[in-house]
Structures are given as C-alpha cells and as structure tokens.
C-alpha cells in the first residue's frame, strides 16, 4: 500500500502538458541548452537517419526472399493443367501421346517387355568403399545428380575405376548396378533415357510385372557380368518368370547402343552348355523371345570409341580445350583432369566391345571406303524428274572433286588425311623400342600407360601418320598393352573364315556378328520403338 501511495504522489507531483506553467518551464530549460549541444544533437539524429549499405543489403535480401516465396506460392497454387492450357492457347491443341493413341486403337498388354540399357546410361551405386566415401552407402556414383563428382572428385575417380589387371573390383571397393526401372529411366534430372517409353507403355496397361530393366555394370566385360554379379543368369530367370506369369506370351526385347551387343552375347550364352554358358538349350531363345527391336546398335563398332581410348576426349571436352587451350592440362586444382579420366576409362573393359570390327574389309583402307562417292541428298521431293536427275549428277561431281578418305580413322594432320597413300612416308611403329619415361617429377603425377612409351614410342606412333581399322588394333597393343590383353580375352574384331571351327564357340566371339551365328532369327523393328518415344 505504501508503494502505491508513493507512485500516486509522484504522479501528482509531475507537471502535466495541460499545465501552462510546466510548458514554460520546459521551454526555459531548452533555452538554457547551449547551441553547441543542440548542433551535436541534430548531427546525431542525422547520422541515425542516414541510409547505410547494410540497410540496402538487408532490403535487397528481404525483397528477393519475399519475391521467391511469392512465386513459389503461385507455382503451387496454379493448377497442374495451366501449362497445357497456355501451350494450347499459343500453338493449338496438343496431340495425344503415342500411348494414348495406341490405347484408343485398342492395344492392350500382351507380351512382356525387357529393356537392355547401353553404355553409361545405367545407374551405379556404392556398396563398399574406402574412408573418403564415408556416408555414400547405396548412393549413386553414376547417374542421378552426379553431386559426388564435384564434392569428392578424386574419391569418385578411385571408386569408379576397376582393377587394371583383372578388370574387376579393386580391393575394398564394391560398386553395383541399380536395380529396377529407375536404373535407366533418367540419366540425369531432365535427361530421359527410357522414361518416355516406359510412360507410354504404362498408358497401354503395362506395369512393373510386365516390364523389366536388365540393368548390368556397363564398365566390365560381358562375360564378367556373369562371373561377378550373375547378371546373365538373372536376365534368364526374369525372362522365364515373365513368360510363365503372362500366359506363355513370349518377351519382346528392346536393347539400346552397347546393350545390343550385350544381348547378342546373352543369346549365345543362354543356349551354350555350362559352365561357360547358361545351359538353356539350343531352342531357349525361340521359346522365350518373340522379337528383338534394336535401337542404335553398334554391330560393327564405332570409330568414336577409338578416340575415347587414346585421349579420353569426348566432343564436349575437345571443344573446351579448343576454346581454352591448356586449361584442362594445367595442374591448377591438383586434379590433372584428363589424366585421371584416362586412367579411369582405361580400366573399363566394356569400351573394348565397340572398337571397329571387320578391319579394312568393313571400314576401308587408306585410299578407299564404303562411303566413297556417296553424298546424301537433302533436297525436297520435286515433280520435275529432269531437274532431279541434273541435281543428282551435280552432287556426284561435287563429291568426286572433294575426295575424303573415310578409311583413315586416325590421321596425324589434315595434310595426311587428304593426301594419297603413295605420297605418305609411313614408318612402321610395331618394332619400335619404347624410350625413357615422360612422366613429370611432381608427387601429383597420375600414372597412365603412356608413361611406359617414352618419347621414342610416341615419336614412332606419330611417324606412322595414318591408321585404318586393322592398324588401330596394333596401335592399341603398342600404346595400352594391359587394356588390350584384357580386351582380346573377352572380345574379337575380325571376320570368320569358317564358322564351323570349334574356336568360335568361345565367349569372346559371341558379341561379334562377323564371327558367330545365331540360330534364333530375330527381327529388327526400330520403327515401332521410336513411335512410342
């Protein structure tokens, strides 16, 4: 009670604004403040009111955040059909997807479908790794976001590489293919592989029990996928199960790229006797496979694989090196990018399956090739036959003027690529003696098989000038003997003289159409597949 009384006394003793005497007293007090103090107060107030850089940054960040959340709110609030509505308003009605059209035509599920992905399109995940890969158990090292490539580049290279002697897992590392349809539906976010085809088949009525992704580790040789993972046995069992659970309807196989060669190997393996084969008997394919629809199959190999083996340079890397010469070769980040990529890719035996097959008979020699004299026409169809004939004649004449030696897969210089073989002074490299190592002396050096060639070996390779499909095999044996030793044990690159020879029963010939036969006659119908994409 005493405290309350004191407060009331203090309140009554304070002057109010309505009391004229109190106002006069305040004015008198202000008048008593010196002019210097008043100026100081005004300066301090101006400083407080002044706009600082920190205030500008805060407002900017706040505006960005508010705008971002507002746009995110609008994105979630807009109906899912809004994009289609805008598109139709601009371009007109959107046509139905292929799967919807086929469903309207009455197509339904009948034959189970098996997808066989190609090289690099299948996801790989980590099951066992070294200390640097802590926390990555069953996380994707290949496919998906590729985040670990940027976070731990050297660790990623170490775990994506295989043993250079065996072509299998290095000690303490296990990387395995992802299972299920998600293994190769998308290669990266927004970059589809099989996703559109799967979606259109689903519109007809297909689902996971009638579709199977034959995922495998695309890095290792075809026969080693069975040795290490029993992948070929899994494909055989799944096809048998799908046929049995779908009323005996045979399976339709859709391989892509290197998957075409892989499935050629499978068809020979499944009918070959054990232990080399699956023991399915000579009529297994005829009983379980309705048709095989190949997409972009490299039956005779591709020259692009040669450039990858020698330099580890794809087209995009070559463009970067042309626009910024020396950048990737510098050791700025202590990564030695190309050297690490080369070391890693040269442990992948699967790349050896796509080396050009058939030698000069298929690909041409120094002065001729199957493409010689052929120029594809790009003109539109016209009714005037005379004018069309004249244009064809002019195209032939133009092609004869510009002679291109497509048989020369590798040429050291533009002059060598265009000059007749009689004008090229070629020095054979096969008997050359490799010189001293050309490795640098830094502790960060990355070993590749180039180091064993030396200056003399590299000079001998360059002095041969031009290489065809046949001489490239000798060049690979000279440059990368360990890689070719493994590759020659699992793949072949020639043309069979006599298919009755017992040597052609070995699995190294199974993926080469020029050195094996297939009792099961399958049809190639890529048009049907493309219509569903």
Strands 251-255 and 289-292: parallel
- Phi, psi (rounded to 5 degrees) for 412: -95, 85
| Nearest-angstrom CA–CA distance, 375 and 459 | 36
Q: What pLDDT does 33 receive?
A: 52
For the chain, what is the mean pLDDT? 79
| pLDDT-based confidence at residue 338 (cuts at 50, 70, 90) | low
| pLDDT-based confidence at residue 442 (cuts at 50, 70, 90) | very low
Q: What pLDDT does 384 receive?
A: 45
Q: What pLDDT does 416 receive?
A: 87
Complete edge-to-edge strand list for the sheet that includes strand 113-116: 211-213, 113-116, 251-255, 289-292
Strands 191-192 and 186-188: antiparallel
| pLDDT-based confidence at residue 401 (cuts at 50, 70, 90) | very low
Q: What pLDDT does 7 receive?
A: 46
Higher pLDDT, 76 or 133: 133
| Nearest-angstrom CA–CA distance, 323 and 317 | 10
238 has a pLDDT exceeding 50:
yes
Q: For 412-434, what is the mean pLDDT? A: 84
27 has a pLDDT exceeding 60:
no
Residue 62 half-sphere exposure, CB side, CA atoms within 13 Å? 6
Q: Provide Rg for the chain, Cα atoms.
A: 36
Beta carbons within 8 Å of 328's beta carbon, 6+ residues apart? 317, 320, 321, 337, 338
| pLDDT-based confidence at residue 45 (cuts at 50, 70, 90) | low
Q: What pLDDT does 522 receive?
A: 42
Q: For 174-184, what is the mean pLDDT? A: 94
For the chain, percent of residues with pLDDT exceeding 70:
71
Q: What pLDDT does 491 receive?
A: 95
18 has a pLDDT exceeding 50:
no
49 has a pLDDT exceeding 80:
no
| 3-state class (DSSP) for residue 214 | coil
146 has a pLDDT exceeding 70:
yes
| Nearest-angstrom CA–CA distance, 42 and 310 | 77
Strands 186-188 and 289-292: unpaired
Q: What pLDDT does 77 receive?
A: 79
Q: What pLDDT does 46 receive?
A: 60
| pLDDT-based confidence at residue 174 (cuts at 50, 70, 90) | very high
How do residues 272-301 score in pLDDT, each as one tens digit? 999 999 999 999 999 999 999 999 999 999
Distances (CA, A) of 59 to 53, 66, 441: 10, 10, 54
Distances (CA, A) of 520 to 158, 243, 504, 530: 41, 17, 17, 24
Q: For 494-511, what is the mean pLDDT? A: 92
Q: Range with the lowest mean pLDDT among 6-15, 100-109, 239-248, 343-352? A: 6-15
Q: What is the DSSP letter of 393?
A: H
379 has a pLDDT exceeding 90:
no
179 has a pLDDT exceeding 80:
yes
312 has a pLDDT exceeding 90:
no
- The top-scoring range by mean pLDDT among 56-65, 319-328, 337-346, 452-461 is 56-65
| Nearest-angstrom CA–CA distance, 496 and 492 | 10
User: Could you count the other beta carbons within 10 Å of the beta carbon of residue 21?
Assistant: 7
Q: What pLDDT does 519 receive?
A: 65
Higher pLDDT, 113 or 390: 113
* Angle, helix 337-345 to helix 304-311, in steps of 10 degrees: 120
378 has a pLDDT exceeding 60:
no
Q: Would you say 264 and 118 are in contact if contact means Cβ atoms under 8 Å apart?
A: no
Longest dimension (CA), the chain: 127
Q: What is the DSSP letter of 131?
A: G
Which run of H or E residues covers position 410?
strand 410-411
493 has a pLDDT exceeding 50:
yes
| Nearest-angstrom CA–CA distance, 347 and 220 | 8
How do residues 182-218 score in pLDDT, each as one tens digit? 999 988 887 889 999 999 999 999 999 999 999 999 9
Q: Would you say 312 and 483 are in contact if contact means Cβ atoms under 8 Å apart?
A: no
> Which domains occur in the chain, in start order?
111-353+505-532 (3.40.50)
251 has a pLDDT exceeding 50:
yes
| pLDDT-based confidence at residue 390 (cuts at 50, 70, 90) | very low
Q: Range with the lowest mean pLDDT among 49-53, 311-315, 323-327, 460-464? A: 323-327
403 has a pLDDT exceeding 60:
yes
This prediction has a pTM of: 0.76
């Amino acid at each position: 009670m005493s405290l309350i009384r004191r407060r009331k006394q203090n309140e009554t003793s304070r002057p109010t604004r309505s009391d004229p005497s109190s106002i006069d007293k305040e004015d008198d007090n202000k008048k008593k403040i010196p002019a210097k103090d008043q100026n100081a107060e005004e300066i301090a107030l101006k400083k407080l009111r002044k706009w600082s850089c920190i205030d500008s940054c805060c407002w900017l960040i706040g505006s960005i955040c508010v705008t971002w959340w507002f746009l995110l709110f609008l994105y979630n609030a807009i109906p899912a059909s809004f994009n289609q509505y805008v598109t139709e308003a601009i371009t007109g009605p959107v046509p139905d997807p292929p799967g919807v059209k086929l469903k309207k035509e009455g197509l339904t599920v009948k034959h189970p479908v098996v997808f066989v992905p190609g090289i690099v399109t299948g996801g790989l995940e980590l099951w066992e790794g070294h200390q640097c890969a802590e926390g990555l158990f069953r996380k994707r090292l290949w496919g998906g976001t590729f985040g670990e490539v940027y976070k731990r580049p050297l660790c990623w290279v170490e775990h994506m590489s295989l043993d250079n002697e065996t072509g299998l897992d290095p000690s303490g590392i296990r990387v395995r293919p992802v299972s299920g349809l998600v293994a190769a539906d998308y290669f990266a976010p927004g970059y589809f592989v099989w996703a559109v085809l799967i979606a259109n088949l689903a519109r007809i009525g297909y689902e996971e029990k009638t579709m199977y992704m034959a995922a495998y580790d695309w890095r290792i040789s075809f026969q080693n996928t069975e040795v290490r993972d029993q992948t070929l046995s899994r494909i055989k069992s799944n096809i048998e199960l799908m046929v049995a659970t779908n009323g005996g309807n045979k399976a339709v196989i859709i391989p892509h790229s290197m998957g075409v060669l892989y499935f050629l190997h499978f068809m020979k393996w499944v009918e070959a006797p054990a232990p080399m084969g699956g023991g399915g008997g000579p009529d297994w394919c005829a009983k379980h496979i309705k048709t095989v629809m190949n997409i972009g199959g490299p039956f005779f190999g591709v020259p692009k694989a040669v450039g990858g083996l020698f330099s580890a340079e794809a087209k995009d890397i070559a463009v970067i090196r042309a626009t910024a010469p020396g950048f990737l070769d510098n050791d700025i980040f202590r990564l030695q990018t190309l050297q690490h990529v080369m070391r890693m890719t040269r442990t992948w035996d699967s790349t050896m399956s796509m080396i050009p097959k058939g030698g000069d008979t298929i690909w041409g020699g120094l002065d001729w090739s199957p493409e010689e004299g052929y120029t594809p026409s790009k003109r539109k169809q016209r009714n005037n036959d005379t004018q069309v004939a004249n244009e064809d004649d002019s195209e032939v004449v133009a092609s004869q003027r510009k002679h291109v030696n497509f048989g020369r897969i590798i040429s050291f210089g533009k002059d060598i690529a265009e000059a007749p073989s009689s004008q090229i002074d070629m020095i054979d490299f096969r008997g050359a003696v490799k010189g001293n190592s050309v490795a640098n002396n830094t502790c960060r050096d990355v070993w590749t098989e180039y180091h064993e060639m030396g200056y003399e070996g590299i000079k001998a390779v360059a002095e041969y000038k031009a290489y065809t499909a046949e001489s490239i095999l000798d060049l690979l044996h000279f440059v990368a003997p360990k890689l070719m030793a493994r590759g020659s044990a699992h793949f072949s690159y020639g043309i069979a003289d006599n298919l009755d020879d017992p040597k052609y029963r070995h699995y190294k010939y199974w993926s080469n159409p020029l050195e094996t036969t297939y009792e099961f006659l399958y049809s190639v119908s890529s048009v049907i597949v493309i219509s569903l994409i």
